[in-house]
Structure formats: structure tokens, C-alpha cells
């Protein structure tokens, strides 16, 4: 009996280890793949009309659903699940026509959802003071999540006060920013340009809220890599 109890305890310990590290960490890898697609592929497909907006919405729903599996405590599971259900309901309510109020609520819920994912990835980044592949994945996830949240922020500003950023190259093939759902590509581009402090100048913020958000993203884009690198180097030197 004692031997059987030890075997059961060992199996339970292994199962717990798999659940804590393999299942949750694998979800972070899946999250990275989705984020890379949303940030670098989806805008191109939207800009050239190669993807329907229904597909775009499904991609975002898959992103929010994947984030649920990154949670490892009941409160965060309930929170992310509730936000996911809210996203689904808002998208269903506005099927067939763009309703600005519902779209605004959807973007606000989206920012809250990705804020939770950012917290989870930051916690993964500094977990157990380890330096390995999953810590790097967590760092990249946070950076890409901030870029998407920045895009949502510019969309919220536009939906709230009627303007956020302006395309200065109207003579080119680029489309003007009108506040429609199809403008996500432009908002994400400007968010990334601000976050990376590149500043090409083809898009510009047109009001104080957009200017402050752009400055905040630029400041975060400078400080975040510095803090992460210092943290990882410090953790690596202690191992």
C-alpha cells in the first residue's frame, strides 16, 4: 500500500508539473503565434482586401480564447472567460452593421482583456528567476500586446471624439482614417511606429489625447526593453 501511495503521489506531482509548465507555457507559445499573425500579416490582408472583417473578428476571438489557457488560478480564469463572453456577445450584436457604441465597448473590453494577458506574460517573464525560451516568449508577447492595445486606444479616441490620427500621404495608395473597422491596419501601424520610436511621419496624431498616447507608447518602447534586458541579465547572473 505504501508503494502504491508513493506511485500515486509521484504521478500527481508529474501531472501537476505538466499542468503548471507544459500546458500554461504552451499557451504562451500559441499566443505568440497569433500575435505575430495579427501584427505582421493581418494588417496587410486588411489593407489589400484579401480578408473579410468577419475573419478578422474571429482571429481576435481566437486570441482572447487562447489567453484563457494562460491563466493558472480561478479568479483570472473567470475574469478572462467573462471578458471573452462579453467580446462574443458584442460582436454578435453588431453583425450586419457597424454600430459605433457597440464597437467602442468592444474595443474597451479588448483592452481590458489584453491587459490581463500582459500581466500574465510579465509574471511568466519573471517567474522563478529563470532565463529560458519561455521568458523570451513572454517578453515578446508583452511588446506585441502593447502595440495592439495602442491601436485599440487610437480607435477608442477616434470613436469617442471623432479623430485620432491622420494620414498625410493621401496621394498614395494609403486610405484615409475614417474610424471604420477597416482602419485597424493604420492604427496598428502608427502604434508600432510610436512604440519603436521610428516616426516615419506619414501618420500624425491630430489631438492632444492621440499625442499623449503616442508619447506614452514611445516612452514605454524605450524603457521596456531596458528593464527586461536588465532583469533577465540579473536573473541569469544569479543562476
Higher pLDDT: 145 or 22? It is: 145
First to last CA, the chain: 40
Examine the pLDDT at 144 and tell me if it is beyond 90.
yes
Q: How far apart are CA 34 and CA 59, in angstroms?
A: 8
Higher pLDDT: 168 or 114? It is: 114
Query: What confidence tier does 182 reach under pLDDT thresholds 50, 70, 90?
Result: confident
In the chain the domains, ranked by start, together with CATH numbers, are 2-238 (1.10.287.70)
Per-residue model confidence (pLDDT) at position 14 = 47
CB under 8 Å to 231, separation ≥6 — which residues? 125, 126
Nearest 5°: the CA angle 74, 120, 69 is: 55
Examine the pLDDT at 239 and tell me if it is beyond 80.
no
Residue 143, C-alpha cell as written in the block = 511588446
> What is the b/e burial string over 116-146, where b = at least 16 CB atoms within 10 angstroms of the residue's CB?
bbbebbbebbebeeebeebbebbbbbbbbbb
Q: What is the DSSP string of 103-159?
A: HHHHHHHHHHHHHHHHHHHHHHHTGGG--SHHHHHHHHHHHHHHHHHHHHHHHHHHH
Query: What confidence tier does 92 reach under pLDDT thresholds 50, 70, 90?
Result: confident
How confident is the prediction for the chain on average, in pLDDT? Answer: 83
Half-sphere exposure in the Cβ direction for 13 (13 Å, CA): 6
Query: What confidence tier does 93 reach under pLDDT thresholds 50, 70, 90?
Result: confident
pTM: 0.85
* Percent of the chain at pLDDT exceeding 90: 44
Query: What confidence tier does 22 reach under pLDDT thresholds 50, 70, 90?
Result: very low
Examine the pLDDT at 225 and tell me if it is beyond 80.
yes
Amino acid at each position: 500500500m505504501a508503494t502504491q501511495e508513493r506511485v500515486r503521489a509521484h504521478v500527481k506531482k508529474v501531472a501537476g508539473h505538466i499542468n503548471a509548465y507544459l500546458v500554461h507555457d504552451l499557451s504562451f507559445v500559441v499566443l505568440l503565434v497569433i500575435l505575430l499573425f495579427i501584427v505582421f500579416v493581418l494588417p496587410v490582408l486588411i489593407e489589400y482586401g484579401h480578408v473579410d472583417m468577419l475573419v478578422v473578428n474571429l482571429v481576435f476571438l481566437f486570441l482572447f480564447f487562447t489567453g484563457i489557457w494562460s491563466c493558472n488560478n480561478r479568479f483570472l480564469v473567470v475574469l478572462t472567460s467573462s471578458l471573452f463572453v462579453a467580446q462574443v456577445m458584442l460582436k454578435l450584436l453588431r453583425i450586419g452593421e457597424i454600430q459605433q457604441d457597440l464597437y467602442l465597448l468592444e474595443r474597451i473590453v479588448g483592452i481590458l482583456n489584453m491587459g490581463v494577458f500582459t500581466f500574465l506574460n510579465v509574471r511568466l517573464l519573471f517567474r522563478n528567476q529563470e532565463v529560458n525560451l519561455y521568458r523570451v516568449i513572454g517578453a515578446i508577447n508583452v511588446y506585441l500586446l502593447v502595440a495592439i492595445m495602442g491601436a485599440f486606444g487610437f480607435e477608442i479616441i477616434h470613436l469617442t471624439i471623432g479623430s485620432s490620427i491622420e494620414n498625410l500621404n493621401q496621394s498614395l495608395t494609403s486610405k484615409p482614417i475614417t474610424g471604420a473597422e477597416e482602419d485597424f491596419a493604420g492604427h496598428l501601424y502608427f502604434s508600432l511606429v510610436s512604440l519603436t520610436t521610428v516616426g516615419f511621419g506619414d501618420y500624425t496624431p491630430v489631438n492632444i489625447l492621440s499625442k499623449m498616447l503616442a508619447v506614452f507608447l514611445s516612452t514605454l518602447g524605450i524603457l521596456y526593453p531596458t528593464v527586461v534586458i536588465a532583469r533577465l541579465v540579473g536573473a541569469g547572473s544569479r543562476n
